Structure 1
Amino acid sequence: MAKIETTTLPTGISSKPYIISSQEGEIIYIPLSKSVTRLLVTGEETDDAFAVVGSGGSQGDPIGFHYHREAHDVFLCLKGQINVWADDQCRTLSSGDFASVPPGTIHQYQIVGPHSEMVGLIVPGGWEEFFRFIGEPYDGATWPLEDDRNFFDVLLPKLKAAAEKFDMVPCPQHHGVEPQSWAETDGRLPGSLKPYFVKNATGPAYLAGGTLCRPLATTAESGGKFSIGQIEVSSHLKLHAGLFASSSRRLAFDHVHHAFLVVEGGLQVHVGNSKPAHLYAGEFVFVPKGIEFSIAAGSRFASFYAFANGPGLIELYQRLGSAHHLSTLPESAAAWAESELAALGKDIGCRLSL
């Protein structure tokens, strides 16, 4: 039984699972930006269903207002702070905060502070080629802080060409608002295709056995195209119940790719016929559609983000669980709708094996 391949780059193969270690990926430096972009999943691995892109950097200028005709952007802050503008709104995102920017929304972002990081999903996949087009491969440890080249010579011609080549419409005349205070409504998912923000751990949450799922975007907010959420698990015996309580239970989604990013603690991930892999904070695993997988806690507390080009694992937990109104995992596992799993699996498009 072989191990899942651990790589520093996306594989370019749509049927192959892989792991990317912390801070790796295809690393691209955007000239003069004090930041790098990390391609973790590209359209090549997902048949252009989506791409997962990480970014890290230091304080810089906003990137410039624009909108996409088809591409849907999301911004999930992992560290530091990120300003995100969406039409007439702006929030300063800190760790765990989220913003959804659907097509047609005039937006931009700005990295704030000495070291900030975020991860985003781009739908459809293929738009990540924009970063390759305007950027440069980078092999440093973090990102360049000094770049004395001329903007008009180095970057502006590429940006003009990119606006014509890619789904990006510049809006230089748009005047954005100053960053605004978070509103009470920022913890609610709108249930429709509109821009919105979610403050960390303030949105809806669902408990299924000993697993807590916090949806950040469902197919209702993405026009049916994707789902994103945070999942919290524990190896504690009192919470060892739920979807993957049995080590032999696996799920496979026939039409949906998944990507998982570990945020805290450790996970044991079993994918296809490979040996179980142990993942820790910052590590990332891609699971192509049709391949069985299971996920279990490898530490007393573990948290990870899940990305899928459809309802996927997030909406399965949402429909299996019950509403949870506490900010943390409970003391012991709760009842969950295990008897409904087979029917829900057919509805969502997943298969369960024991």
Structure 2
Amino acid sequence: MKASTLTSLSLSLLSTASSTAASYSPPPLVVDVAPDHLRPYILPRYKGHAIKLTTSGQIIRFSITTNSSDGAFAVVQHTSKWTGWTSARPHTHQEAHEHFYCSKGRVELWTKKNVTGAIDEARVLTLGDFGTAPPGTIHTFQHTDPDSQLTHIYNPAGFEELYNVFSIGDFVSPHGSPYQLIGDDQQPFGDVTPEQEALLNSLDLYVAKADVYVPRRDFVNGTAGDPSINWHNSNNWHNGNNSLSSDPTDPYYVAKDYGPKYLNSENGYKVIQPLLTAEQTPNKNFTIGTLTLSPKLEGDKTNVAKLPHHFAIQMDEGQLALTIQGYKTEYLLPGDVAFIPSGTRFEYYATVPFTKFLYLNGGAKGLDYELLANAVPWDFPAYPE
């Protein structure tokens, strides 16, 4: 072959490679359903694969799944009208640590450590309230407002597959309705059959039958259980400091803005409110909390992070500018979810006052760990003037 022919062939190959590289673009960051593999993404509010959970209109939306987080953790959004029934039989998990965050309305939550002498606790969660049920905790829940949303968080991921197994069909709403508008309020389940029980056990759900556990209904100002535990009193819904448990096998609750708080003053103000740290997880591998930011002012630097574990955001208030490595800046609104894989650089800042989001870290040293290193204890859920 002549040298000129080789040169032409080389130039042709280089041109093709250059053209291919120039035409490549990453998949879109903003998606309608959680991806089936690990990558960054943003899922807008009321997006995500949605299924019908009950005949009375309750809906489950999958925000973060086993596939999209590579098994680290999962998040589903459970929306419903008021119902007179619990949405699940009282049960325990052996593997999944389940956490509950009220994102809208009111939801009743029951928990009981599955040991002799344990106190049966129950709370009415309102917006921003949190509860956690470690493996072995008997628990169940019920929506009690006309428009309620409960965020379920599982670590590790995997349990969310149960919803697909028991789905009664996909839910599609072109207008983004939170749930089906069905007037009936039928009990979503009956007595468990041996066949159902075997299937549930295979999915990490172990029913606590009525001879073992019945949810108590003696709520007083939103609480039922040990009166020494700060949550509500006769004059106020929320009362006193809600500390985090020192025992990772204990279920516990944290009322909105009543848990521990810290102030970080780097690049504007940030109020960090841990809801769960690695010390409250059996495997020391997960943290949850909220972060409230002041808006970026002239002269402030953009916040930058690159974390060793998978990280996620669920927006509560305000607007957050988020730039993930390789993508243009997007603006998150309340209800939006963002997932950022470990080792991925991202930048963020608040565009409006009092921007707040729920954070999830798939390890002990996440964004909260970095911010708390330069924070001081703080008495307020708001940042300084």
Query: TM-score, normalized by length of structure 2?
Result: 0.78
Look up the equivalent residue of 1:104 and give its one-letter code.
Answer: G
Q: Distance in 2 between matches of 1:151 and 1:110?
A: 11
Corresponding position of 1:204: 260
Corresponding position of 2:4: none
Corresponding position of 2:276: 217
Pair 169,186 (structure 1): closer, same or farther in 2 beyond 3 Å: farther
1:227 and 2:287 correspond: yes
| CA deviation string 1:145-171 (max 9, x = no partner) | 256999679x97995453132101001
CA contact (8 A) 1:134 1:158 kept: no
Specify which of 368, 371, 379 is matched with residue 314 of structure 1: 368
Look up the equivalent residue of 1:112 and give its one-letter code.
Answer: T
CA contact (8 A) 2:91 2:138 kept: yes
CA contact (8 A) 1:133 1:158 kept: no
1:51 and 2:111 correspond: no
Q: Distance in 1 between matches of 2:381 and 2:50?
A: 35
Q: Distance in 1 between matches of 2:351 and 2:150?
A: 24
* Shift in Å, 1:227: 0.7
Look up the equivalent residue of 2:128 and give its one-letter code.
Answer: G
Specify which of 24, 27, 32 is matched with residue 8 of structure 1: 32
The number of equivalent residue pairs is 322
| CA deviation string 1:286-332 (max 9, x = no partner) | 1011111121011122111111111211232233211010231112x
| CA deviation string 1:84-103 (max 9, x = no partner) | 00011000000010001100
Look up the equivalent residue of 2:323 and give its one-letter code.
Answer: H
CA contact (8 A) 2:128 2:255 kept: yes
Q: Note the residue ranges of structure 2 that are not aligned, 5 or more in a row.
A: 1-24, 113-119, 224-228, 231-239
Q: Distance in 2 between matches of 1:77 and 1:48?
A: 24
1:162 and 2:199 correspond: yes
Pair 262,148 (structure 1): closer, same or farther in 2 beyond 3 Å: closer
Pair 233,156 (structure 1): closer, same or farther in 2 beyond 3 Å: farther
CA contact (8 A) 1:68 1:104 kept: yes
Specify which of 324, 329, 335 is matched with residue 378 of structure 2: 324
Identity of aligned residues (%): 26
1:27 and 2:88 correspond: no
* Shift in Å, 1:246: 2.2
Corresponding position of 1:337: none
CA contact (8 A) 1:37 1:131 kept: yes
Note the 1:111-122 alignment, pairs <5 A: 111-122=143-154
Corresponding position of 2:172: 139
Deviating runs (4+, > 3 A) in structure 1?
1-4, 146-153, 155-162, 179-183
Specify which of 337, 351, 376 is matched with residue 298 of structure 1: 351
| CA deviation string 1:109-149 (max 9, x = no partner) | 01112110121210111111000000121113232225699
Corresponding position of 1:177: 216
Task: Give the secondary structure class of the aligned counterpart of 1:55.
Answer: strand
CA contact (8 A) 2:200 2:206 kept: yes
Q: Distance in 2 between matches of 1:2 and 1:225?
A: 30
Q: Which has the higher strand share?
A: 1
Pair 260,158 (structure 1): closer, same or farther in 2 beyond 3 Å: farther
Corresponding position of 2:132: 100
Corresponding position of 1:66: 91
Q: Relative to structure 2, which stretch is displaced further, 191-200 or 135-144? A: 135-144
Q: Distance in 1 between matches of 2:196 and 2:354?
A: 44
Corresponding position of 1:347: none
CA contact (8 A) 1:227 1:315 kept: no
Q: Distance in 1 between matches of 2:207 and 2:66?
A: 23
What is the aligned-residue RMSD (CA, Å)? 2.4
Corresponding position of 2:111: 86
Corresponding position of 1:334: none
* Shift in Å, 1:186: 6.4
Q: Relative to structure 2, which stretch is displaced further, 24-33 or 137-146? A: 137-146
Task: Give the secondary structure class of the aligned counterpart of 1:220.
Answer: helix
1:271 and 2:324 correspond: yes
Larger-gyration structure (1/2)? 2
Pair 251,281 (structure 1): closer, same or farther in 2 beyond 3 Å: same
Q: Note the residue ranges of structure 1 that are not aligned, 5 or more in a row.
A: 332-354
Corresponding position of 1:250: 304
